[in-house]
Structure 1
Amino acid sequence: MKILVTGAAGFIGFHTALRLCNAGHQVTGVDNLNDYYSVDLKLARLERLRALPGFVFHKLDIADRAAAQALFHEQGFERVIHLAGQAGVRYSLDNPHAYAEANLTGFVNVLEGCRHSGVQHLVYASSSSVYGTNAKVPFAIEDAVDNPISLYAATKRANELMAHTYAHLYRLPTTGLRFFTVYGPWGRPDMAPFKFTQAILEGQPIDIYNEGDMSRDFTYIDDVVEGIVRIQDCPPPYADESEQTRLGAPARLFNIGLGSPVRLLDFVRCIESATGVEAIKQLTPMQPGDVPQTWADVSALARRTGFRPGTPLREGVGRFVDWYRTFYGV
């Protein structure tokens, strides 16, 4: 298949493109290579991808309407896996316009490109952050998500509504994936697994928010990619006609998470065990936009694909720490 992966130099985009290329697909990757975090890390990911047959890269900002339009017109993609966007909850407090441009304008451009070029299936990244401070756990796709507490979460919920609208109006098959705290080799430097590992190995203190009274459904990258690859083979119109009729549009949402939340202090202990170094912990208050817990109900994903994420935390953290030591020579 001819597949577009946006955000191909990003963490999840890189692993997804790698998997698709290894499966024999023709993959076009795009990324704007912004400096939200280390561009060198993004370029190192791209270097790995460019060595693969079937992979082509274009430096492109999806918020650039003309460039995005030309890409879709020239390439004729069969499927699109949209993983580009401005990530990060706390960054959205100080840089709101970056989220409007990348996550809203950029997503409209992707939807329009898919609509006008006859894309068979659009799979796009949503986020567990859409659940906000919901008290009912585990979080299920049927739960109300009307109270986002960060602009990042609001843009992701907006993406889900926009996709549903295009599915309804133009019969564009869309599937949104709500990712839960993804970690693993080649991970993002702005996320806790990377930040904690780096600080612990350098003998620097780490901030434990909400005095440690937080839990996250940490999900290993290989499990996330497996979910993406399986879902992209299940366009909504052909999966369950009765459900399609009930929803009124070929649009679906799925959680992708381990389904087993871990307290933040227990997660730190996993890193301590993998590194052999004890962390210097600083307990701090809850940060604006943060939520106390995440916990994925993945029963819908399991029903649709037969797959349920299962990489144990200790195993996944060990792989990440091994990669970090190798990549950074520590």
Structure 2
Amino acid sequence: MKIDLTETNSSKINASLVQARRDIGTPAIGMVLTLVIVTDEENAYDALKSANDASREHPSRIVVVIKRVSRSPRSRRDARLDAEVRVGTDSGTGETVVLRLHGELVDHAQSVVLPLLLPDAPVVVWWPEGAPQDLAGDPLGSLGQRRITDTYSAEDPIEALGSRATAYAPGDTDLSWTRITPWRSMLAAALDQQVHSVSSATVEGEDDNPSCELLAMWLADRLQVPVKRTSSAGPGLTAVRLETKDGEIVLDRADGALATLCMPGQPDRAVALKRRDTSELLAEELRRLDPDNTYEASLKFGVARLAPTSEPSSPKPAPAKAEAPAKAEAPAAKPTPAKPAKKAAAK
């Protein structure tokens, strides 16, 4: 069921939610959290689809906040709220409220969202892209126990990792970190079977891929060994190599779906490491509402502390020094002219 509301307010939206539940015969609320999605019109459809798919595992009230910035100065002063209420099959297993904020209301989105939060239920705020620098200090971000971003969508993902580390607050997380959960699990299981410790590591993946950087920082922080980043054509993260005294442990995924784990003294084995879609990543993040201390430690390790991202190029031969010109011979001293003899005194 869909209900369109034009020039409305939070009270009318809540009343529409109650009425819609009664009309479809489900007056009881069985949702476990409120998911607030802050996005724009361009990305709203994909974000909402991923949230609806994730709601099959986590029934939730989804509140989509779309800020419609007006162009003309006059329309910027006219505050207006339009809403769309979806209940039943149109909203996964929970409820969906799509809010479109116009004019001055854009700067006060938290006052509109606050009355729509489920009582006594956790709140998670998700920015599919365009996240603020300080998540916890953002008016909408301050409403949530967890705050989810995706640095992969940033214009400069590596710079965005630095911003996330600088402004980190307990409860922040990133889908670029969630993407490497299977890799971390597989590598941890492989290291449990080794006697010798790791002396160095290499992470191979696409340039400017924040997941590769986060995995490299996680290895460097946990193993306390040099970790080097190398580039590949992708897709995404392609290989991790760990050096030990017994040999090299290699987890190689060339096609983005199936990986090969090679360990010293053991036969190679195939492991499933497919690239997951956004709904699976979001569902994983919604399983935990406590701060992720491992993510914090890895993020704050810093990209700058990793080894160079590529093999150092061979040093260019120093330009041959021009031979110093031979010192010119000192010019022969000019003969000193003889002093004129004193004229003889006139007789």
Give TM-score scaled by structure 1 length: 0.31
- Larger helix fraction of residues: 1
- Larger strand fraction of residues: 2
Structure (1 or 2) with the larger CA radius of gyration: 2
Larger RCO (CA within 8 A; separation ≥ 6): 1
